[in-house]
Structure 1
């Protein structure tokens, strides 16, 4: 079968190439999925550049890309009872599992859910990573309750557009940060208030929030803590990893011991500020979870969440797609069709 593989670390458009590899065979507790569409994510670019080699050593020997997929189950292992051949499904493949840029891919049934009936394969492929990130950030870590206020920093990207809709479904009061050109988009998605970062900072008015969902790195986690209420929660996927982050990594104990002091030092300024301000801070790594995707499936079928696709490309134009992704101007998600 054909697969788009990362042959070397570097610029993703140049480092990828098509290869002919053996079609995978599922073990007793795996399903074989014929991939129909796959969404791009910024983490694909980071892996290709080699930025994550220190914390994800499993990708050094066999780097894999492409984690948001939608397709059709073509074969199930002997122990699989939750899915059957011919069923349309979507999944967020674990980072060590990939690669989704292939005609067929293996998946653990616990990481798979039935595709929402009212959307296309392309639309469903945009959902898994963004959905799981939002559910785990807003519900699991922040323990959001109806009526609470939430600041979503970067509301027009793949995670942000989903976060606004998910927060709305929970009954939260939403403030979204985006550029002026995307103001109308985030309002349509459900933001009660929009802060345009090209005109003002979310710290300018002194407003404090029960939850701050930080999606950007640099100094934004520190600024997010300043925007949170005392006793509030900041959940980040953009800040430096902390000690708790190490526990989630699938690495050996020696590697974990080496990373503990490094991550502890990197996150120390954030931890100190959070302690001083009385704010709970979580930096987490999204985990694959089919049961959570089933929750999302229900929300989509009820019309409470709508996938946002900026552009769709045929697979052979992957270089063009990744070049656009690198501009950081994508509204929602980018998708590749699996055309062979």
Structure 2
């Protein structure tokens, strides 16, 4: 089969399209013929080996997983004898980040817990855009952020992959949503239901002091003091992504700030979870959430796809058609 292989850390130029052996499913595995995959921030970490702390999970000197790619959607081609949920011909989607990656390929063999049935009302490309970004948004809002009906939510970096899911999921949970983005993305946020949109080139979100119950930081390089300034008493800030300095501030200063004050600051490390994937599936199936796709590339254009993605200006998701 054809697959993208990465044997050393570096720029997108280290990625190679090669012929490799087609996998065979173990007794508890499902063999999926992949139709589509998508890019996430985790793919950049796996490619570059940065921040360095990530290498303790992904390999100190070279990538532990030679075929990258987390999000997939495809058709079940074979199942091991212990597989209970799926059968040949089922359409599935899933997140492989918790079971060895391998999504940038024509086939992958994975445990059934990494998959869910693909909603019939969306395409394979849309399904491949959803798992990691959608579950990240769900875990950040519902689990870490303790989102409740009527909460006022600020999403910084609302026009990217996680951000576009977060806007829609927060609305589905009955929140009043404010998205922060650049001028070119204002209309996208309005089209997916944001109640208010802040164009950061014209207004700084800190002008809304003490207004939000929850702030989800998806991207950017703002200080923790900026975020805490706009939180209500007992409000929550959840760091999902952004600059390395912002990450380290949240990891090391967040617990202290949370302990001495009423505002809670935490960092989310998204973890693949079949129950959460099924919750996301229900939101997709009922059209409460729809994946936003910016650009599509084929497998042979993976280098160009990564170079575009790492610029950080994608409107929604970047999808790979296998």
TM-score by length of 2: 0.92
Cross-structure match for 2:199: 196
Distance 2:80 2:87 in 1: 10
Distance 2:147 2:134 in 1: 15
Alignment map for 1:1-340 (pairs within 5 Å): 1-12=1-12, 14-60=13-59, 61-63=63-65, 64-95=67-98, 97-216=100-219, 218-238=221-241, 267-338=251-322
The alpha carbon displacement at 1:96 in A equals 5.3
User: CA separation of 1:327/1:58 partners in 2, compared to 1, >3 Å: closer, same or farther?
Assistant: closer
Can you give the 5+ residue segments of structure 1 that lack an aligned partner in the other structure?
246-262
What's the CA shift string for 1:276-303, capped at 9, x where partnerless? 4421122121111122222222222221
2:254 touches 2:264 (CA, 8 Å); kept in 1? no
Runs of 4+ in structure 1 deviating by more than 4 angstroms, as ranges, are none
The alpha carbon displacement at 1:58 in A equals 4.1
Distance 2:254 2:103 in 1: 35
1:240 touches 1:266 (CA, 8 Å); kept in 2? no
Distance 2:234 2:106 in 1: 48
1:186 touches 1:194 (CA, 8 Å); kept in 2? yes
Can you give the 5+ residue segments of structure 2 that lack an aligned partner in the other structure?
none
Total equivalences in the alignment: 316
Give secondary structure in 2 for the equivalent of 1:65.
coil
Cross-structure match for 1:260: none
Distance 1:220 1:32 in 2: 45
| Root mean square deviation of aligned Cα | 2.1
Distance 1:277 1:92 in 2: 36
The alpha carbon displacement at 1:194 in A equals 0.8
2:224 touches 2:250 (CA, 8 Å); kept in 1? no
